[in-house]
Structure 1
């Protein structure tokens, strides 16, 4: 079985994060996608490398740059042809990961928290490999980390490793959403924003901050769901939370109530995200993180 799908432990080590770097390198190429453009007239202007990406080859026109004439095609056809290029900008993205104590749970393969952390690691490695700019904010347990500096991959991977530790579920949930109450998100414009969280609700002030983020950026929301959690057979289970380990009795009725409550909240969340223009996608815990990363690649969230 794939070491990404079912890691040896939900607590990830340095070797696993190195493996994520290998998988990130072999995700493939993103299909050409419509890049996000602000309605307020803001444009991305930082050029990356040569700054040019060829779009097509066509017959030469008087306004074309002579440096872009394709002399081989011109010689073969007897008619001047020129290459059309599009400016390739520095791809800037913001990674937001927010884990509640409930995320440190899973019935198959690994924990929901681990899957989200793996995906964050793939995103971090991919940005480094492509030379893209990556800002981030991570909230888990009692910790809150953020950075908008370049060359922070080792620090980010260390923080992600710390996020995978199970003791983080012993702390109450952070009341504030990862996108609110921070200058990092308040000043974010013209970026691909990737939100990784198991949380499904927020208050009015947090919704206002999320609306502002979606107005100025292309926002992608990824959720991991353990569908098998609602199919456990009736019986007694030992469950751990911030108060310790206790026995929980599960009946068919209590399981159905929990399932109905979860999916009711989920439906409301999806409607809110859709109204804000946020792209939402849920994946089951049985999906490998590299498959989820390829989805983000297909959506233009990764380069």
Structure 2
């Protein structure tokens, strides 16, 4: 499985067509983070020209239309309110792993890119915190392509290139992101949550107190199905060992069940929805399904 390149992430822009990042958070977040208000004022987006009435701002008079029609006409604008959308992308080196279509790290990158394109097309300001355990980088929210392209470049730069022991990457990213999030923001957390612990729980609680938050759990079938019968070699450089699938199968499944219970309990405590993304499905299919159906709480 080859690393993800920039061209691949750019192509995902087409898959974002007609998809939106739906808001399902508390009323406070929706009020502060709405895309547009019905209020008409001196905003960013031109809406229409109509005949001038008393009380209109003289600065908005359209002099060309006024001259052509012989009566004063004014320009109306629709005010835009751009919602900040933050992507937290956990590129733990242990996510350089995949048994089917793609690596877990590659799936996280593709999902982040597609979510960024969807948000940008919808008028949101897109920012990101990306970490690989060695480097944690913050890209402030910006509108349209100006917000997406730096994120894509950072994903390419920080993607893992070889397997390694797991690091507490999620914690580093949460510590960076939490102080930056304001009410009305949408935070999208992409991770395999393999190293999540009580400290991460506390940081996520602080994050959800200030913004709407959704979790995207990156998984691979080998994790929840276990090794089949047979002999295998597994691990990472410097720690490769022989494994008998039959001997470790039950232990493997028990470890997965504990992790699944941990992630589910975390989501329930914080009242968050969890979307499980598996390496067996192209990201367009997995996210399109989530974006077009109601959220299901974990």
Please classify the TM superposition score into its range, dividing by the shorter chain length: 0.7 to 0.9
Alignment of 1:6-25 (within 5 A): 9-24=1-16
Aligned to 1:191: 185
Task: Kindly indicate which of the two structures has a greater share of residues assigned to helix.
Answer: 2
Matched, 1:38 2:38: no
Confirm or deny that 1:166 pairs with 2:156: no
Q: Tell me if 1:180 matches 2:174.
A: yes
SS in 1 for 2:288: helix
Structure 1: segments with no counterpart, 5+ residues: 1-8, 53-85
Hey, what does 2:58 align to over in structure 1?
A: none
> Does residue 124 of the first structure (1) align with residue 125 of the second (2)?
no
- Counterpart position of 1:277: 271
Q: What stretches of structure 2 of length at least 5 have no aligned partner?
A: 38-43, 48-77
Alpha-carbon offset, residue 274 of structure 1: 1.3
Q: 1:296 to 1:145 in 2, by over 3 A?
A: farther
2:170–2:193 CA contact under 8 A, matched in 1? no
Contact 2:128 2:141 in 1 (8 A): no
Asked whether the 8 Å contact 2:228–2:249 carries over to 1, the reply is no
Report the count of equivalent residues. 254
1-side partners of 2:244 and 2:214: how far apart?
35
Residue of structure 1 aligned with 2:230, choices 229, 232, 235: 235
Task: Quote how far apart the aligned CAs of 1:117 are.
Answer: 0.8
TM-score after normalising by structure 2: 0.73
Counterpart in the other structure of 1:297: 291
Shift of the 32–222 alpha-carbon distance from structure 1 to 2, 3 Å rule, reads: closer
Structure number with the bigger relative contact order (C-alpha 8 A, sep ≥ 6) is 1
Whether the aligned pair in 1 keeps the contact of 2:98 and 2:104 (CA below 8 Å) is yes
8 Å contact from structure 2 (residues 171, 199) kept in 1: no
Deviations 1:42-71 (A, max 9, x none): 72377585499xxxxxxxxxxxxxxxxxxx
**Contact preservation (8 Å) 2:229, 2:246:** yes
Q: Is the 8 A contact 2:186 2:213 kept in 1?
A: yes
CA–CA distance in structure 1, aligned partners of residues 218 and 200 of structure 2:
21
Find the aligned partners of 2:5 and 2:289 in 1 and give their Cα distance. 25
Deviation of 1:29 (Å): 4.0
Q: Provide closer, same or farther for how the CA distance between residues 166 and 31 of structure 1 changes in structure 2, counting only shifts above 3 A.
A: closer
Q: What CA distance in whole angstroms lies between the structure 2 residues aligned with 1:87 and 1:257? A: 58
- TM-score norm. by structure 1 comes to 0.72
The answer as to 2:207 corresponding to 1:218 is no
Q: Matched residues in 2 for 1:44 and 1:97: separation?
A: 22
CA pair 195-174 structure 1, distance change in 2 beyond 3 A: same
Q: Which residue of 1 aligns with 2:88?
A: 96
